Amino acid sequence: MLHGHGDDRYRYTTPIRADFSTNVWYGGEPAGLKEYLFSQWDRINRYPDALAGQLAEQIASHHGLPADRMLVNSGTTETIYLIAQAFAGSRTTIVTPAFAEYEDACRMHGHQLDFLDWATLTELPSLSTQLVFICNPNNPTGAAFPALADWIARNPQTLFVVDEAFIEFTDQLHTALPLLDQHDNLLVMRSLTKAYAIPGLRLGYVVGSPSLITRLTACKQPWTVNAMALAAGQFIFANYDHIQLPLSQLLADKRQFVAALSGIAAIQVYDSVTHFFLAETHTRWGCVGTAGELKAYLLDKHGLLIRDASNFRGLRPGHFRLCTLAPDKNALLIDALTEWTH
């Protein structure tokens, strides 16, 4: 999907006062990162590490894993496309609603697709496909699936591709990385752009068995991770313990934000375990407008940007996604939505 993601402010000339459409941590990059990148500026005069091997070793050491279980990529999206290419032609299940790039990447590489609704996961369904993509916690809903280990164990014939792009934004889940010691049918994708607020640099990694990493590496182009992204990754893991986002405060702000939004009768807010969540206009009852109409209103009248979520498979025209920002920014949206409904 080249268009239709969140944080699409580049498409508009309207000044943006607050961007609720992106799930990136609103506090910005870690303290000291900008200065470190400037100090490394001469790296751009040389080719970067073709496979980001030094950073892979650093990340592997952080997780207590061998480096041959790690592949660093230009964001999770590159990882998704590498997996789809490495397993081209497979029959694949996607748990929906889901990040559109799973489906797009699989279609590009000739996968036969099945779709599984998130609500059915509590039954730990048996799978007849070769791969399954699941985002945990889920984007766009912010839901968590804590029984992942049991589901993997019940389906040893299926490769589980688990997207943990938002694992830093919940206190209800632990990473699936420890499951790699028990299961070879698992790939875990991690993002470094959301929690550290560097989506413009594009950086992430995937962890799996050595044979799976070798299979993905065979499809990878050289130099996909640029020199500044590599430097950012090295800074993050060198300073890891000191640069984590204030999750407890962020989730507390989210609860206050949701409580205020829930008082607006024209929208429904759905539960989540992350700092982002779905809401829906009451289009089903013929009340207000669609999410697309609401997005246009908020942008034009208030300079506020939301994520029209109606293009996620399985969602309705009224669905939109919001991310928690600082309380003063959240108040802008609450006031704007209150005005919209009157």
Question: What pLDDT, on a 0 to 100 scale, did the predictor assign at position 288?
Answer: 65
Element (H or E) spanning 236, and its range?
A: helix 227-238
Tokens of 317: 């025209």
CA end-to-end distance (rounded Å), the chain: 35
Coil/strand/helix, residue 148: helix
Total residues found in the chain within this entry: 342
Tokens 């402010």 found at:
9
For residues 277 and 325, the answer to whether their CB atoms sit within 8 Å is no
Question: What pLDDT, on a 0 to 100 scale, did the predictor assign at position 3?
Answer: 43
Start and end residues for every CATH 3.90.1150.10 domain found in the chain? 9-27+245-340
Question: What pLDDT, on a 0 to 100 scale, did the predictor assign at position 293?
Answer: 93
Smallest CA-to-CA distance from 168 within 237, 240, 245 is with: 245
Smallest CA-to-CA distance from 201 within 29, 19, 22 is with: 29
Question: What pLDDT, on a 0 to 100 scale, did the predictor assign at position 7?
Answer: 59
Q: What are phi and psi of 78, to 5 degrees?
A: -60, -40
Tell me if the domain spanning 9-27+245-340 has CATH number 1.20.120.530: no
Pairing of strands 319-323, 307-308: antiparallel
Start and end residues for every CATH 3.40.640.10 domain found in the chain? 33-242
Coil/strand/helix, residue 95: strand
Amino acid letter, residue 284: R
Q: Which residues of 330-339 are buried (b: 16+ CB within 10 A; e: fewer)?
A: bebbeebbee
Q: Which residues of the chain have pLDDT under 50?
A: 1-4, 6, 284-285
For residues 142 and 122, the answer to whether their CB atoms sit within 8 Å is no
Cα–Cα distance for residue pair 342/340, rounded to 1 Å: 6
Question: What pLDDT, on a 0 to 100 scale, did the predictor assign at position 2?
Answer: 41
For residues 307 and 140, the answer to whether their CB atoms sit within 8 Å is yes
Q: What CATH number is given for 33-242 in this structure?
A: 3.40.640.10
Question: What pLDDT, on a 0 to 100 scale, did the predictor assign at position 9?
Answer: 60
Maximum CA extent, the chain: 59
